[in-house]
Structure 1
Amino acid sequence: MTYQLYAHPFSSYCWKAMIAFHEKNLHYELEMVENPGVMAALKRHWPLGKFPVLVDDGAPVIEATTIIEYLDLRHYERAPLIPANAIDALDVRFMDRLFDNHVMTPMQAIVNEALPGITPDPARAARGAEALDTIYAWLDVRLAGREWACSHGFSMADCAAAPALFYADWARPIPDTFPELRAYRARLNARPSVARCIEGARPYRHYFPLGAPERD
């Protein structure tokens, strides 16, 4: 079995899928979207050209959350990322959406306003910063007494949290007044599956339009 993953090492949503692969110790062939011809091949599977896209025996699996769900169905015995208990699974799925929608999305809004060639909208960036401040406060309470995002242990929610918080802290640093959240981010960064993504992305840090900080 050979999985093909159309992805980029600096992409936050690609990290999310890659972390699941690393947690399960599953091999995949990285189809690097920057390489010649790869984007055209990707668009044959998914015309929107968004990534990551997993291809398994010619069949595409699209969107990072769906990829993780797919890997868990195929390889549940290897580091389950979604609990079998339906109530626990619901909490994992909730937190997965929370990190994508309420951390990743406002972070991206801030970053987008710094991209070259656009006229920045300071109000949009300010709304993104305000949204992050609000969710940082909520997460600091949620994470008190927890090692990971949910009671299941390391899960799909943490696969989503790792890249979201990694880049969000670059765009809008997590204040010292949220020690639970800062400690959680540090635990995520130290986990081998996440650390592998951090190192894989290191050569591309110049892509970050706000300027990558001298840390992490």
Structure 2
Amino acid sequence: MLQLYGHPFSSYTWKAEIALLEKGIPYTFRILDPEHAENVEALRGHWSPGKFPVLVDGERPVIESSIIIEYLDLHFPGSPRLIPETPEAALAARFLDRVFDNHVMAPMQAVVGEYLIDMQAPDRSRIDRACAALDTIYAWLDERLKGDWACGEDFTIADCAAAPALFYADWVRPIAPAQARLKAYRARLLARPSVAWCVDEARPYRAYFPPGAPDRD
């Protein structure tokens, strides 16, 4: 059975888990925390930097969330595809995967990072820059989104990336009410069974969110 090393509150762990759940692939979750030092040690045996998520198939580690999803499509061909088969559609899905990771997740994490550096006096100028970047990409996404999912009517790798990115980003910089398409897309993502499962698994850890988790979602 596949093993997934990660943490239930980790956005990139969500991304990999959503893919596994969408595909209906059985796996064992190896939580990484101080109470499970054996998992941390095992992870470093597979990937010395110790970053996660890491998927282990037999003795083969698969590293980085986007690569994990590509690997699942390649090695579990009977499951629903998350990378479209046609080259142009695949390119569009991979592009939006990078948009959500680099232009939504990254500025969200920049805000969180400032609170980790100094919880009492985070650098407001850096937070403001990250929030401005989120405003810019929110506007772009609101204009671009047309169908139920990021790439139209099929749930893809882009949606696996979008779910955790928009979930947490909206906590640090709420999506504006005028951006109705983007708000509705986030709501559809959170209602998707695979995503809802990840949200529920992460609930016990909300107190760990440095800026403070809002009382919603």
TM-score (norm 2): 0.96
Conserved 8 A contact 1:7-1:30: yes
Equivalent pairs counted in the alignment come to 214
Provide Cα deviations, 1:115-157, integer angstroms capped at 9, x if missing partner: 26566222211111000000000000011x3110003610000
Q: Deviations over 1:163-190 (max 9, x none)?
A: 0000000010001010000000000000
Q: Is the 8 A contact 2:147 2:153 kept in 1?
A: no
Query: Does the aligned pair in 2 maintain the 1:88–1:152 contact within 8 Å?
Result: no
CA distance in 2 between partners of 1:77 and 1:139 (Å): 32
Q: Which runs of 5+ in 2 are unaligned?
A: none
Matched residues in 2 for 1:61 and 1:185: separation?
28
Identical columns (%): 59
Q: Distance in 2 between matches of 1:116 and 1:207?
A: 14
Matched, 1:33 2:32: yes
Match of residue 133, structure 1, among 128, 132, 135 = 135
Q: Could you say what secondary structure the match of 2:109 adopts?
A: helix
1:202 has 2:199 as partner = no
CA distance in 2, matches of 1:137, 1:150: 17
Structure 2: which amino acid aligns with 1:14? T
Give 1:194 shift.
Answer: 0.3
What's the secondary structure of 2:37's corresponding residue?
A: coil
Partner of 2:162: 161
**Counterpart of 1:187?**
188
Amino acid at match of 1:89: A
Q: State the distance in 2 between where 1:190 and 1:78 align.
A: 21
**Which consecutive residues of structure 1, in runs of 5 or more, have no partner in the other structure?**
none
The answer on whether the counterparts of 1:83 and 1:152 sit within 8 Å (CA) in structure 2 is no
1:65-84 residue pairs with structure 2 within 5 A? 65-84=66-85
- Structure 1 segments of 4 or more deviating over 4 A? 116-119
| Higher mean C-alpha deviation, range 110-119 or range 97-106 | 110-119
Q: Tell me how far apart the structure 2 counterparts of residues 152 and 98 of structure 1 sit (CA, whole Å).
A: 19
- Compute the TM-score of the two structures, normalised by the length of structure 1: 0.96
Question: Which residue of the partner structure matches residue 124 of structure 1?
Answer: 126
CA RMSD in angstroms comes to 1.2
